[in-house]
Amino acid sequence: MTNGFLPVSKDDMTNLGWDYIDFLYIIGDAYVDHPSFGHAIISRVLDSSGYRVGIIAQPDWHNAESIKKLGRPRLGVLVTAGNIDSMVNHYTAAKKRRSEDLYSPGRKRGLRPDRATIVYCNLVRQVFGDIPIIIGGVEASLRRFAHYDYWDDKVRRSILLDSRADLLIYGMGEHQIVEIADCLNSGIDISDITYIKGTCYISKTNDIFDSVMIPSYEDCVNDKDKYLIACKVQIEEQNPYIGKSVVQPYSNRYLVQNPPSEPLCREELDDVYGLNYMKRQHPMYDELGGIAAIDEVLFSITSSRGCFGGCNFCALSFHQGRIVTSRSHESIISEVKEMVKHPQFKGYIHDVGGPTANFRRSACDKQKTVGACKNRQCLFPKPCKSLICDHSEYLELLRKIRKIPGVKKVFIRSGIRFDYVMCDKNSDFLEELCKYHISGQLKVAPEHISDNVLKHMGKPQNSVYEAFSEKFYSINKRIGKKQYLIPYLMSSHPGSTLNDAINLAVYLKKHKLNPQQVQDFYPTPGTVSTCMYYTGKDPVTQKEVYVAKTPHEKSMQRALLQFANPKNRNLVKQALIEAGREDLIGYGEGCLIKPDNNNRRNLENGKDSQRKNSIGQNKVGAGGKNKKRRNKGRFGSNNRG
């Protein structure tokens, strides 16, 4: 039986009465039918549009037969690496292999290949020949142009070329996948489907109307300044309303990115999240340890999409876009009421949010018709005058959810933008956040305290975080709660010097903060910060940026954030000596580490020697004065002492 899931075997197809499928969907994650998983959304959208979709999750890439078990699909093959880029999923920022995979049964690693999209597509070509292949998901979306690859430490071609796929869907994909399916179903050849927004394709000619040409792949490989220009244009044209097609030459071919697809409107978003998801992992994983990635989202609510925050190290603006759309109260409340009926629900909703929890509307009304500004950020370096800072609608939603019978507590864990909170002249949101939606700790992301580093991150100045912190603790004191801010921090981001890292460590010491987890900057495809890391320049300003690239310096910067950990002591010491900050090695209140044993012994010996010399000098002085007296009597000096 399929148990309500889409078929994963021939037996499932038989039980459904199917003798064929329209689309085969190959995914790098385990099959979880929950809307927090991209493959679940795309497959359910196709299913609701009348197309038959079969799922093959984590096929054995060593055996081509593993993708043949559902037969040849009628219309095409869809391929995604999963919710996370496969290289990010497999390796840490230090390029070390991760010990587990949260998107695989029993957290077992090794069930998908590196560069999964490319490997799966080549398997499809081997097995099914000239069949339409459409790739999508984060890995494909963020690697659609020539891109710097941190793991190879070089510029790689568009993933569309390396995978030999026919079409690439970038962004969230609901509009595009249905349009493509309808085109294929009507008999249009895949090579002629070149006009759908939010897709990329390969062309033999450069005759694209209303397009902008960026430096070629070859130029990007050979000239970092050309790579910089390419990234700048890609960022500027990510506008679904006025953006142009972007063309990148590859020898005698051209990669064409059509303008982005328009974001789903509220009604469409409601429809997507109202589809018939099973809201759980496929039963075939139950005896294999389950899928850990669903645990955190099982009792969480996705309320919005998109983010106008504009953090340079985040790929959201290049994937979901800067225009925020949100679900209706009715849609969300309906989901909560169903959640309450779940046998494992204990009354606690883990999150009501999205990329940024307190973004529930577009930054300004202009974005609804002409999109986000090309050369201006909404919050950085300071909030735009057109920015609408209003939490009232989100606050009303949270109040409604709190009143639903069976709901004990509603947490907000997907993160809030504290600078947006500070823009709001009304303090009701922060007040109720402290009263009802925190359990002792609120995680926020100042990322750093150096304004120099924050500038390159696209984050507000540290004074904004300080003001937010003061307001947060003031409210908690007034309402009689002991709650704390837990800051997310990042080391070795482009722009961060060793002195910046040391100043952050001093700040942590001063404020008695001891972060248990810190993030070393990870140069992932599709971000402004990765462009800075590779080129040493800011693609927006074209100015040079300091970059910590050697593993040793990156290790020192990371260690400084956890200077109190004994394991980091040697690295911290090296950093302080290299930066000429030996004043922070000692016993003073502001010192980061104590001297090592040899130095301590020398210091103590030096003090003892000085003490003995001082005593000796006193004795000599006394003895000199009393020399004649001591000659007069054996105990003369003592008698005078």
Q: What is the pLDDT of residues 19-73, one digit of tens each?
A: 999 999 999 999 999 999 999 999 999 999 999 999 999 999 999 999 999 999 9
Q: Rounded to an integer, what distance in angstroms lies between the CA atom of residue 216 and that of residue 253? A: 10
Fold matches, 10-197 and 299-439: no
In the numeric block, the tokens 């005896």 are attached to 287
Q: What pLDDT does residue 2 have?
A: 61
Cα 186 to chain centroid, rounded? 39
The CATH label, of 3.40.50.920, 3.40.50.970, 3.40.50.2300, 3.50.50.60, for the domain at 10-197 is 3.40.50.2300
Where along the chain do its domains lie? 10-197, 299-439, 440-594, 604-640
Q: Rounded to an integer, what distance in angstroms lies between the CA atom of residue 575 and that of residue 559? A: 9
Q: Rounded to an integer, what distance in angstroms lies between the CA atom of residue 514 and that of residue 39? A: 38
Write the CA distances from 372 to 168, 265, 590, integer angstroms.
24, 16, 45
Q: Rounded to an integer, what distance in angstroms lies between the CA atom of residue 434 and that of residue 403? A: 17
Please give the torsion angle defined by the CA atoms of residues 561, 566, 572 and 574, in that order, rounded to the nearest 10 degrees.
-160
Query: Can you list the pairs that 551-558 forms with residues at least 24 positions away whose Cβ atoms lie under 8 Å?
Result: 551/94, 553/492, 553/498, 554/93, 554/94, 554/491, 554/492, 554/520, 554/521, 555/94, 556/498, 556/501, 557/491, 557/492, 557/496, 557/498, 557/501, 557/520, 558/491, 558/492, 558/518, 558/520
- Contact assessment for residue 77 and residue 26, using Cβ atoms and an 8 Å cutoff: yes
- Contact assessment for residue 85 and residue 139, using Cβ atoms and an 8 Å cutoff: yes
Q: What pLDDT does residue 598 have?
A: 56
Q: Rounded to an integer, what distance in angstroms lies between the CA atom of residue 82 and that of residue 28? A: 5
Q: Which residues contact 236 (CB under 8 A, 6 or more apart)?
A: 374, 375
As given in the structure block, the two tokens for residue 539 are: 């693609």
Hey, what CATH topology would domain 440-594 get?
Answer: Transcription Regulator spoIIAA (3.30.750)
Q: Which residues contact 112 (CB under 8 A, 6 or more apart)?
A: 28, 29, 58, 61, 81, 82, 86, 89, 101, 104
Assign residue 287 a region (left: φ > 0; alpha: ψ between -120 and 50; beta: otherwise).
Answer: alpha
pLDDT in tens, 315-330: 988 999 999 999 999 9
Domain 299-439 has what CATH class?
Answer: alpha beta
Which stretches of the chain score pLDDT less than 50?
A: 1, 603-604, 606-641
Q: How many other C-beta atoms lie within 10 A of the C-beta of residue 290?
A: 17
Q: What angle do CA 164, 168, 174 make, to 5 degrees?
A: 145
Phi and psi, residue 383, nearest 5°:
-55, 135
As given in the structure block, the two tokens for residue 387 are: 């920015």
Q: What pLDDT does residue 599 have?
A: 53
Q: How many other C-beta atoms lie within 10 A of the C-beta of residue 150?
A: 19
Least Cα distance to 406 among 318, 314, 343 occurs for 343
